[in-house]
Structure 1
Amino acid sequence: MTLRRAPIAPLALLTSLLLAAPAAAAVVPVGTTDELVAAIGAAKAGDEIVLASGTYAFDGASCAAAGTEAAPIVVRAAEPLGAILELSGVEGFKVSGPNWHFEDLDIRGVCADDSDCEHAFHVVGAASRFTLRRSKVRDFNAQLKINAAQVDGVWTAPDDGLIERSELFDTHPRRTSNPVTKINIDGGKRWSVRDSYLHDFQKEGGDAVSYAAFMKSGGSDGLFERNLVVCTTAGSPDGVRIGLSFGGGGTGAQYCAPAYDPDVPCEVEHTGGTMRNNIIASCSDVGIYLNRATDTRLHFNTLIATSGIDFRFATTSGVARGNVLTGKIRDRDGATHQESDNLAEVGLATFQTWYEDPGLGDLHLKGDVASLVGEAPAEAAVTDDYCARGRPGSGSFTLGALEHSLGDCATVPPPGPSGEGGAGGGTTGSGGMGSGTGSAGGGEAGGTGGAGGGTGAAGGGGDASSDGEGCGCRVAGVGGNDALGLLTAVLAAFALRRRQASSSRSDAS
């Protein structure tokens, strides 16, 4: 009997495949602050860090690892809003790696000095495809701050971020001279803010100007859709409170894309932005402010008790169509726009005959809204309404954010697509600074104050698309279960080859 050496090629191939396979993604349960910080520090693509219900108190954490589009790094609560994160540092989560998703979290700034709680999330540089969903974030100067940073010596801004189905607010006026803006997106392409509830924000120091959200600093193709903005639920007239903006208060030249050069002025703050199907209420200044915003589209928004819409400065241009608003649509300081099918200068009293409590964003039907129904031709760029119901495929649309031909719908918080729950993990909204005492604020402010004053202070110049339902949470390609499947295939092929060789020898004998 002659002994034959086993072929080594399949074994060598198997060894090389196993060595090349990345470590399998993991579900990482955490129940303490130390475990959470350690899991974030050790995270790899595809990891899903799951927080048990309870309170986690810490200064902040660095999220530098890189997820992938197919395998993002997910940080989520095991139960919606069951994990309470109490942050006491200037920056809660400093996100510099791409593809981080945060879901179902209740995040609170707990600093004794408001200037010490700047951001719950600071998203910088290469951190593209950041996602925040179904979360509640309160009591920061800017709950989310996104801006460019140098990556390998090149200025880089995060792109394709998504903020959805979340609630952002403050429980008291921010006593600080720092910028106060609930979502501050400086630069980047294709950021989306949708189905979210932004309310109760006020700056009590410095210039007293605050915003719900803006995109600026040379960014492009941003989208605000189906959001509810209520600048105050308590009826407070204090401060200069502005709703949504492309351009904000402007950007220092050295922080403005694409030049990032102190000698090149930031002539265009945002290009190609869209606001559609938003409800904005009870703001002491304008509901929508466009500052050096080129080619902006304002489609079917409802603005209640604000001073209206400002297009401002020579590089600002765009279209306003199908909007219903208290106040006027104005061109200022050389801006130009086209408009059609808008209903402007609607008094608060008229809104109150139509809806239950319009100053608080409660647009349950109360009276006859026939004057709004079918008053605008269909718009191809608008396929649904504020409640994510499909608009008519042809014919005419109802003016404003709600398609009343489809009947009534709840508006506080934004319901979002069917079956997904409301903003902030399915809650009905939080108290904010007041007790929600009824319709508030606004009126025709004549463009004075913050946006009207044009000082550029709010949002400052001090710093530089949807991924579907996300959370694949597993490594694609050769890794984890894929590596096991490949191992099985190699061994099966090897066994088949041995059987075939044995059969051939038997036939020959």
Structure 2
Amino acid sequence: MSFSSFTQSRFYRALKVYLISSSVVLHLLVVVILVQFVSGFLASGPTFAKALSNNGNNIKQNYPSLEPLGSMMLSVADKQGASDYYAVPFDVSDWPSVGPRELSYTEMVPKSLHDAFLYVSNVKELELALRNAKPRSVIVVKPGVYLLKSKRVGLSKVDTTAETPIYLVAEKTGAVTIELDTSEGFYVDKPHWHFMGINFKGVCASDSRCHHAFHVVGGGSFFHLAHSQLVDFSSAIKVNEYKGVYPDSGVIAYNHIYNTHPRNTRAPVNPINMDQGNDWIATHNIIRDFLKYGGNRISYGAYFKGGAVGGEISNNLVICETSESRARGSIVGLSLGGGGMNIKHRRENSEFETKDIIVRNNLVMHCTDVGLYVNRGQDSLIYNNTFYNTYGLDLRFPESSGNNVFNNVINGKIRKRDNGTGKLSNNVVFDRDYWSGKNRLQQIYSEPQNGKLEILNPEAVEALMDTTEIPLDQQESFSDFCGQPITPPLLAGAIQLGSRCFGSKE
């Protein structure tokens, strides 16, 4: 064999080895990419149908040229049972234990202030009364619609005490609508302001305005909002410090907070946004339909954060969306910590976002993310909540330590992420069957997807039965979501045996 023939033979052998090796490497690379794609696809939803739905919606929104593929995936998802959603028109009368109650203004104001009523019946009178309010003023608003336009609604700067508060109250609950074409809404920087029985509605031309109905700052401690409706705001109630002064001990109770459309804004969307305040209470509210279609597309129903210590989130109904809109983005029910705050902005530069918060008796439904997200929330008591059709509960980061999580009923999973910690006991966790999409909670409750949670039968009671006791310091005032006093046997979740407050219009 000539030298040239030998060289040529070696070249061909080397080329053959190269081609075979390249082919193997290429095939391995394709397999790895395919496995990653399939894994990511399957992990994009709690069930196969939901993963199909999420990916189909993503394709339709972001890849117009592939719209037929996205539509096909959505069609298959529907046939596979992705439609676990709130399938009836939302009606507050279905929920008698939460939301505004029809009270007279004399019932909402202490008798000691009944000699201080000041009646207003037009915008000019209302604005004048708010600016000139004195300690012990009770501004009673006659039925009607009042439009306020400005950057913010300014209030009187007088100092008040628990004995000399200021009230803004509707003469008849629900018969007064204050329309706000403002950025900040009512700017509350003095203590002991009470707002009762009024409908507040954002009427801004753009969602980049109408951020808040209420902005509670600095000295606005002991703020109280009750029996009111707040519609079409990005962060209806915003609370934060101002110049080193913190608004503490506020109460947000028996309100109905929602949006009539997804907010197309980059600003935060979270109906209750409480930063840095201690000992706040959010209870017996209806919080629903708080989708965000701008910016990062992340929204929260309510959160406490910013180094807040003490407080309670209890007996709230949170429905992330009340329709089958195939919402884009990440919609979280409740949170301790929210998206987080830089440590230098947290109260006293604390390592935690929240500490010693109680989260109990909440019913959270139909979220595209978790029902409760604990982000550096420390020493929380999280118990007797029901999370239906959510991704479950997350405990995240080492600072989320000392949390006691028990007696909850959870669709989805309980996850300890990024070294999050917590004591877990007696939680009833029903992850949906991935391939069939079947939800076992529909065998426990009568019609949970539509908010009817009567317990079906003795077998269901046994599935929810719990042996963990309520902490001693919580026993005296403890009842369930429906206001039913606790009697043995104690069940996991927000609903106890004998509760009948769902879908009843008797």
Q: With structure 2 as the length reference, what TM-score do the two structures score? A: 0.72
Cα 1:67–1:122 change in 2 (3 A) is same
Cα distance in 1, alignment partners of residues 444 and 451 from structure 2:
12
Q: Is the 8 A contact 1:377 1:396 kept in 2?
A: no
Deviation digits for residues 323-375 of structure 1, max 9, x if unmatched?
Answer: 01111111111111001111112436322233343234332445553224542
* C-alpha deviation, 1:284, in angstroms: 0.4
Who is 2:336 aligned against? 246
Question: What is the match of residue 377 of structure 1?
Answer: 468
- After superposition, residues 89-238 of structure 1 pair within 5 angstroms as 89-150=182-243, 155-238=244-327
Q: C-alpha displacement at 1:290, in angstroms?
A: 0.5
What secondary structure does 1:132 align onto?
strand
- CA–CA distance in 1 between the matches of 2:463 and 2:146? 48
Does structure 1 conserve the Cα–Cα contact (< 8 Å) formed by 2:305 and 2:338? Answer: yes
Distance 2:457 2:134 in 1: 55
Judge conservation of contact 1:376–1:399 (CA < 8 Å) in 2: no
Tell me the matched-pair count.
378
CA contact (8 A) 2:216 2:238 kept: yes
Correspondences of 1:11-26 after superposition (within 5 Å): 26=116
1:88 to 171, 181, 187: 181
Once the two structures are superposed, the pairs formed by residues 416-431 of structure 1 within 5 Å of their partners are none
Question: Cα gap change, 1:221/1:102 in structure 2, threshold over 3 Å: closer, same or farther?
Answer: same
1:282-361 to 2 correspondences below 5 Å: 282-317=366-401, 318-347=403-432, 349-361=439-451
Task: State how far apart, in whole Å, the 1-side matches of 2:134 and 2:443 are.
Answer: 55
Does the 8 A contact of 2:355 with 2:377 survive in 1?
yes
Aligned residues of 2:143 and 2:175 also touching (Cα < 8 A): yes
Which among 31, 36, 41 is matched to residue 126 of structure 2? 36
Residue 403 of structure 1 and its aligned partner are, at CA, apart by 1.1
Give the aligned residue type for 1:146. V
Cα distance in 2 between the residues matched to 1:24 and 1:81: 21
State the distance in 2 between where 1:408 and 1:396 align. Answer: 13
| One-letter code aligned to 1:378 | E
CA distance 1:412–1:172, shift in 2 (3 Å): farther
SS of the aligned residue for 1:205 comes to coil
Distance 2:400 2:288 in 1: 27
Deviations 1:158-192 (A, max 9, x none): 11000000010100000000100000000111000
Secondary structure in structure 2 of the residue aligned to 1:35: helix
Deviation digits for residues 259-298 of structure 1 (CA, Å, limit 9, x no counterpart): 4xxxxxx631111111001110100000000001111111
Deviation string for 1:83-129 (max 9, x for gaps)? 00110010110000100010101110010100111000000001100
Secondary structure at 1:115 match in 2: coil
Match of 2:136 among 30, 46, 58: 46
Structure 2 spans left out of the alignment, 5+ residues = 1-112, 433-437
**Given that residues 482 and 499 in structure 2 are in contact (C-alpha distance below 8 angstroms), is that contact kept between their aligned partners in structure 1?**
no
Asked if 1:386 corresponds to 2:467, the answer is no
> Unaligned regions of 5+ residues in structure 1, if any?
1-22, 260-265, 414-427, 429-509
Distance 1:254 1:314 in 2: 18
8 Å contact from structure 1 (residues 277, 300) kept in 2: yes
RMSD over aligned Cα atoms: 1.9
Shift of 1:81: 0.9
Of 54, 78, 81, which residue of structure 1 is paired with 2:171? 78
2:160 to 54, 67, 77: 67
The separation in 2 between residues aligned to 1:353 and 1:373, in whole angstroms, is 12
Work out the CA distance in 1 between the residues paired with 2:452 and 2:486: 20
Secondary structure class of the residue paired with 1:181: coil
Cα distance change on mapping 1:378 and 1:254 into 2, 3 Å:
closer
Higher helix share: 2
How far does the alpha carbon of each residue in 1:123-156 deviate from its partner, in whole angstroms, 9 at most, with x for none? 0001100001001101001000000001xxxx01
Secondary structure at 2:208 match in 1: helix
Q: How far 1:253 moved relative to its partner?
A: 3.5
User: How far off its partner does 1:410 sit?
Assistant: 1.3
- Aligned amino acid, residue 427 of structure 2: N
Cα distance in structure 2, aligned partners of 1:346 and 1:410: 26
- 1:397 alignment partner, SS class: coil
For 2:452, the equivalent position in structure 1 comes to: 362
Quickly say closer, same or farther: Cα 1:258–1:25, change in 2 above 3 A. Answer: farther
Could you tell me how far apart the structure 2 residues matched to 1:313 and 1:92 are? 35
Q: Distance in 1 between the 2:160 and 2:456 partners?
A: 48
For 2:200 and 2:214, the matched residues in 1 are separated by: 10
Structure number with the bigger relative contact order (C-alpha 8 A, sep ≥ 6) is 1
* Residues 61-92 of structure 1, C-alpha deviations (whole Å, 9 max, x = no match): 22233321123111010001110011001011
Q: Is the 8 A contact 2:430 2:440 kept in 1?
A: no
Once residues 147 and 338 of structure 1 are traced to their aligned partners in structure 2, the CA distance between those partners, rounded to angstroms, is 31
Paired residue type of 1:385: D
Shift in Å, 1:44: 1.5
Could you tell me which amino acid in structure 2 is paired with residue 321 of structure 1?
F
Residues 305, 26 of structure 1: alpha-carbon distance in 2 compared, 3 angstrom cutoff: same
The one-letter code of the counterpart of 1:283 is C
Indicate the residue corresponding to 2:360 in structure 1: 276
Distance 2:377 2:266 in 1: 26
Q: Percent identity?
A: 34
**Amino acid paired to 2:143:** S
3-state DSSP class of the match of 1:102?
strand
Distance 2:114 2:283 in 1: 33
Q: 1:305 and 1:199 mapped to 2: Cα distance?
A: 14
Offset of residue 237 of structure 1: 3.0
- What is the CA-CA distance between 1:45 and the residue it aligns to? 1.6
